[in-house]
């Protein structure tokens, strides 16, 4: 499952499962998660009907620590890097070696303070909006991940985000409630874009010399209720002045926002999850849409069986941009840290929709451009090891 300091702070702990101490206050941890994927494209032309690939599903390595400063105050930090274990981003050299910087990227990396007042951090981090429902996705970081629907606008990730220039606050647990807030600053981002653009997959500030992103900003809020078998969350996020084009005067642009409501319940060995989301954008109502995701997971000893259904609605002013998808999966735990799994995902796009394998990489996330009115599917088998 997706894990992060904000999520861990909500739980009131900082130590990663199965992490080992490298020094007195440094933990080294990671996840290696690779799968073989067989993709049926349902497309004609120069794209093969059947494609095969190895995928590195959010594999990463991280270092983190916490220092007791006395008086109930602690300093904490984390540096986490995504590793493309399949070699994606590398290039072949004449000598046969693999080179290139595309095989790694910074994930949640920050420094902060925690105490009775809660936790404050700054750096790169998942937004509270993203984290509010992450525990409600049993397919997380594999084929069938709910980001195909939640946060996605016609196949491009808009709100399930990891942002740069983040200042975040996580409240202490107040009974069964926790509150989180984050602000994303636009300054210093003329060549570094904090969040991708949901409409055309370009990034918000476009980048390039002379482009001023000072007018861009975003904020993200969430509240969660966690009491025994019941979990519920409500989250809201807004991006201001996105997509502006004038590089010589203060930038203007559209605003976009989204809210979502999530709920989960566990009875015995069975878990249920439901997420509903509503997104809108000023100046471009084609991307106003709602989506929902429902799932179930059942444990039988080392085996976990799961299923999910996703529905993505039409844009407000664009008919026939809806889609639906369903996913099946099974995990087999070899130990507390290692497991094998199988997944199957099928997508049904309407005549104007082009939802792909996993949101966040856009409609080409299968490794090809997903056409509208197609029904792509993928079967995956993988191995996951955490340390």
pLDDT at 48 over 80: no
Q: How far, CA to CA in Å, does 187 sit from each of 110, 190, 198?
A: 18, 7, 21
% of the chain with per-residue pLDDT over 90: 51
CA distance 334 to 319: 47
Q: Where are the beta strands (DSSP E) in 269-322?
A: 270-281, 289-300, 303-312
The predicted model gives 90-118 an average pLDDT of 66
Phi, psi of 286 (to 5 degrees): -65, -25
- CATH code assigned to 5-386: 2.40.160.10
| pLDDT level of residue 20 (50, 70, 90 thresholds) | very low
pLDDT of residue 357: 62
Q: Where in 58-135 does DSSP place strands (E)?
A: 60-70, 73-83, 91-92, 98-99, 104-106, 109-115, 118-126
> What is the reported pLDDT for 366?
55
254 alpha-carbon distance from chain centroid: 23
Contacting residues for 221 by C-beta, under 8 A, at least 6 apart: 128, 129, 179, 180, 181, 235, 236, 237
The residues spanned by each domain of the chain are: 5-386
28 pLDDT tier (thresholds 50, 70, 90): very high
Question: Could you give the CA distance from residue 263 to residue 261 in angstroms, rounded to a whole number?
Answer: 7
Contact 16, 31 (CB under 8 A): no
Q: How do residues 232-280 score in pLDDT, each as one tens digit?
A: 999 999 988 775 544 444 445 678 899 999 999 999 999 999 999 999 8
């Amino acid at each position: 499952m997706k894990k992060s300091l904000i999520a861990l702070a909500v739980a009131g702990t900082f130590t990663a499962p199965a992490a080992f101490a490298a020094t007195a206050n440094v933990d080294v941890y990671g996840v290696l998660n690779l799968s073989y994927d067989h993709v049926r494209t349902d497309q004609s032309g120069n794209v093969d009907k059947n494609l095969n690939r190895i995928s590195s599903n959010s594999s990463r390595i991280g270092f983190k620590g916490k220092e007791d400063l006395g008086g109930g105050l602690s300093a904490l930090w984390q540096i986490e890097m995504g590793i493309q274990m399949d070699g994606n981003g590398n290039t072949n050299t004449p000598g046969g070696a693999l080179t290139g910087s595309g095989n790694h990227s910074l994930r949640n990396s920050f420094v902060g303070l925690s105490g009775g007042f809660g936790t404050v951090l700054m750096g790169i981090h998942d937004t509270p909006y993203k984290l509010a429902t992450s525990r409600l996705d049993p397919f997380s970081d594999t084929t069938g991940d709910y980001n195909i629907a939640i946060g996605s606008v016609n196949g491009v990730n808009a709100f399930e985000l990891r942002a740069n220039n983040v200042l975040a606050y996580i409240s202490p647990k107040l009974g069964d409630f926790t509150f989180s807030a984050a602000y994303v600053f636009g300054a210093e981002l003329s060549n570094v874009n904090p969040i991708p653009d949901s409409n055309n997959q370009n990034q918000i500030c476009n980048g390039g010399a002379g482009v001023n992103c000072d007018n861009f900003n975003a904020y993200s809020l969430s509240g969660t209720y966690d009491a025994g078998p019941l979990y519920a969350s409500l989250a809201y996020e807004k991006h201001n002045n996105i997509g502006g084009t004038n590089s010589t005067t203060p930038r203007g642009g559209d605003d976009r926002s989204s809210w979502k409501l999530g709920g989960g319940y566990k009875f015995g060995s069975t878990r249920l999850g439901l997420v509903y989301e509503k997104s809108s954008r000023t100046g471009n109502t084609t991307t106003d849409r709602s989506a929902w995701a429902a799932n179930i997971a059942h444990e039988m000893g080392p085996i976990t069986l799961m299923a999910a259904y996703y529905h993505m609605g039409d844009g407000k002013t664009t008919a026939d941009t809806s889609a639906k998808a369903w996913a099946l999966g099974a995990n087999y735990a070899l130990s507390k840290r290692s497991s094998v799994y199988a997944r199957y995902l099928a997508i049904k796009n309407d005549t104007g929709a082009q939802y792909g394998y996993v949101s966040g990489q856009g409609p080409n996330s299968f490794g090809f451009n997903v056409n509208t009115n197609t029904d792509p599917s993928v079967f995956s088998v993988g191995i996951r090891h955490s340390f």
